[in-house]
Structure formats: structure tokens, C-alpha cells
Amino acid sequence: MILGTSSINNHLLHCSLWLMLRAERVVHQTRCETPKCQSGTIDLANMQIFINALDGGIHRLDVVPETTVAQIKKSLGADEHILSYGSAILEDSLSLSSLDITDGASLAINARLLGGKVHGSLARAGKVRAQTPKVEKQEKKKKKKGRAARRIQYTRRFVNVATGPGKKRGPNSNAA
């Protein structure tokens, strides 16, 4: 018999029938006759879940399937944080059994992020077009064609070439 330890795993080793019941996966309560036991009974339906914390640490919790997400948050001191399983955010009022969380599952705890709707209302979304004032089209200069267009093309490519160090830039480059 191991004495002086307070973890629940060592405490369960003290109890009779624990190893046999655990091997058979029988789930019920058994009488604990160890002097350290306060309640006198041990619920063998306990399961272990792991919590991935914000600091990168992993916490192990012994819970029953009827434990709610809010109770887990309260035991971790993380009432204002978000608890998720896989990619789903867990509702505080739901129990682990209703969420199909099984023994050995890993839950992640995350801080709430600032954000959301900044200003305005969603009813006005997409209404920018009606608010923009109408601007008259300006008359543009006629594009040169034929011989005049070829002349402009020749001067742009061969006469006004400024060769400098580095890579050749395209005709629409605004780099100086």
C-alpha cells in the first residue's frame, strides 16, 4: 500500500477491485476503505481528458462524462476563455457525453480575440454604390492609328531608351 500521495491515481490503487474492474471496463461505484478517502465511494466511470493550455503546457483532468464545459473552465480558472475540441468551439452548458468526448480526448483552451463588427450596421452592407456621387465621363484624346502609332512605338522602344544598371523594366513600370 502506497501512503503519503494525494493524486487520485494512487488513491485508486488503494481501493479493492480497481484493477480488476478497470480491466473488464465495468463502470460503477465501489466502496473505498482507505483512510484517506473522504467520500467513501469512488466513481469508476471517471475518464481522463487532456487540456492544451495557452502556455503550451498540457493539463490532465479526471472527470465524469456528465461534467459540463463550464465546470471544466471553472476548475481551470479560465471562465473567459474558449474551450474547443477538434475544430468545434464547445458550448458551456453541454456535457462531455453529449459532445461525444471520450476518454483520452485532447481539448484546447484559447483566449478570446478582439474583433467583430467595428461600426455601422449589417443592413447597410453593399450599399456603397448608391452613396457614391455620379461623375461625368471625360472626353479622351483620340488614339493614333497606322503610321503615327508605329512612329510613337519606335521612339518609345529605340530612341528614348535609358539603359541603366539592373533588370529591364516593362512599359508600365513606374519605377524611376
DSSP code per residue over the chain:
---S---HHHHHHHSTTHHHHHHHT---EEE---TT-SSSEEETT-EEEEEE-TTS-EEEEEE-TT-BHHHHHHHHT-TTSEEEETTEEPPTT-BTTTTT--TT-EEEEEPPPP-S--SS-GGGTT-HHHHSPP-PPPP-PPPP-THHHHHHHHIIIIIS----SSPPPPTT----
How far is residue 141's CA from residue 125's CA, in Å, rounded to a whole number?
38
| CA-based nearest residue to 68, from 39, 42, 89, 91 | 91
Contact partners, residue 49, CB within 8 Å, separation at least 6: 60, 61, 63, 72, 96, 101, 103, 104, 105, 106, 107
pLDDT band, residue 140 (cuts 50/70/90): very high
Query: What local confidence, expressed as pLDDT, does residue 119 receive?
Result: 62
pLDDT digits (tens, 9 = 90+) for 13-68: 344 333 333 333 333 333 444 444 454 444 545 889 999 988 888 888 888 988 89
Spatial neighbors of 59 by CB under 8 A, at least 6 apart, are 50, 51, 53, 76
Q: Hey, what domains does the chain have and what are their CATH numbers?
A: 8-43 (no CATH), 47-110 (3.10.20.90)
pLDDT tens digits, one per residue of 61-113: 888 988 899 998 888 888 888 888 988 888 888 888 888 888 899 999 988 87
